Structure 1
Amino acid sequence: MAQSFALSRAQRPLSGHAIRQTIAVLVALAIAVVAGRVLQAQVEGDRGIAPVTSSIDIDVGGIEVDVRGDSAEEAREAGWREAQRKGWAKLGGPSLPDSQLESLVSAVVIEQERIGPRRYIATLGVIFDRARAGRYLGGNAQRTQSAPMLLLPVTLSGGSAMVYQQRNPWQRVWAEYQAGSSRINYVRPSGAGGDSLMLTYGQTTRRSRLWWRNILDQFGAADVLVPIARLEYQYPGGPVKGYFTARYGPDSEFLDSFTLTAKNDQDLPQMLAQAVTRFDDIFEAALADGKLRPNPTLNVGGEGADPVLQRLIEIGRAAQAQERAQRAAAAAGETGEGTSPTPTPTPTAAVVSSYVVQFASPDAGTIDATLAAVRATAGVRGAATSSIAIGGTSVMSVSYGGSLSDLAGALRARGFTVTQGSNALAISR
């Protein structure tokens, strides 16, 4: 006897539409998981090197000594004393006995040393206490510093260009550099997190002031310094030739260049440390010559000023003009002139309002050009981007002394095609 079985709703086969919906959901979940891992991988990794805390003491490095003694310990002590004398001479200090000179030294840094039974060969650094040594050095110990300068150390090697994308020897020597005695106020990012996505070699070739202002504001810097190290390995385990170029500013202006050579990979850190000292000398010389000044085109000025602040400024100017007119009228009355003075009209401050303006932004150049054109429009007090979408639609906030319709007419006079909404405009060319 045939038996019939009724399938429950949960046991019924899925329809074609339900299967497609299920597959679409699974694909979307897979894409979200993969995209999340990719974005996480872009900011993860062993790439951040925190810069050392800069001491205000006076650091003199790269001092070479070759001293003999009755024992290894005596040779080493004699080498350290000779390094202190050489370091003091580099600073231009007066002649002092060794006992007094030792009281000015905070530390001796061993850069490289070889110790024999009766011989000591080393490259040392000597750190002098600024408080104690400053009275002997005079003006050499107290010098004004530059404005905060963002540092982008670029490494060119093997056909690739790298800044903070991963840890590298060039980044490390700059992070370990004691910049307290330098006249340059270095702003050294660690390279961790989002720094590696923002501070790239491509950023050094951008000319857009808007891009540079956004980056410099995040790090509290006024301008940028770009020390470039191009490393060429002659053969595995052989010499490494370094071509170094100093550039600065948003236009990547050339300052100076030099070449150094390391015998092998083991001598590479020493060569790079020597290059950092050379770069600091180049930047200090540029500062002394007046070249290393913050680029004035990076200053925002009053272009993006708050509309409320603009309104207060206008009211203050109007009040000052009214007071001057009243004083002039009072002075004319005291002189006894028979004719009544012509009343001076009180200037009326225009009401400054803030409006939202949308515009197409296929690239950074279009953003800059649109901002410049809007700022040059009659009646516009300021314009600043509030949202940037490269390849899409960006948004700016425009401060205008008039109504929205007046702003639309002024923009049309500048050659824009304007679409007016309730409290916003959309412009295009």
Structure 2
Amino acid sequence: MAALIATALVMLAPLSAPRAQDEAAAPAAAPAPISFTQRGVPAEATAENGVVARERALANGRRAAWERIASGSGRSLSDAQIEAMVSSIIIEEERTSPTRYTGRITVNFNPGRARGYIGGAATAEGGGGGGGSAPAEGTADRRPQGPMPAAATVEVVALYGTLNEWLELRRRLAGASARIDVVAISTDRARLRLGLRAAPGVAAQELATQGITMTPGSGAPGDAWRVGLAGRS
């Protein structure tokens, strides 16, 4: 009996060894590619008026989209840092009220800038929740760009007639200024603190090339200058 058991063990050993070797040699599963286009992102907020509610909702949506692709990175980013990585936002659906905004959005991130925060080895893939990736950008944007120093800081009153005008004006100002802080906002105007890259007189000429008018204000506190979209009646 002992001899039979020993013989059986000798015969089974060669069968089990290759299986263990095969398991050890099996390659680890590759990490899932990262999508820089996130669809169906909820965007909701309540505020004192609809303009502020929409701004906050879009900021919440951008952050939710970023958390989808950066989960596990362990980095905490500000709203401004996340916004700087977003190349575009598409409104899928929205519902507004005097004090609340509810919607779903598609957020397209700039792949080069986003990789700088989550690691250069990240690979782009078709959009989350439905395919389609953000277009590749030039090598100049491969890493997140830090804030540029401001040559002058001024308080201005931004004038606009509609929510879309405000969003477009803010987008242009953000691209042409070293820094933009919203001090107060209402349905037709906002008080801003701008960090200009040049003296106000020179900055006004540079802003004009971006389709923004910058003219002297009333001189009252917080109204040294006024800005708006060029050509606005």
Q: Same fold by TM (over 0.5)?
A: no
Q: Tell me which structure has the larger Cα radius of gyration.
A: 1
Q: What TM-score does the superposition give when structure 1 sets the normalisation length?
A: 0.25
Q: What TM-score does the superposition give when structure 2 sets the normalisation length?
A: 0.39
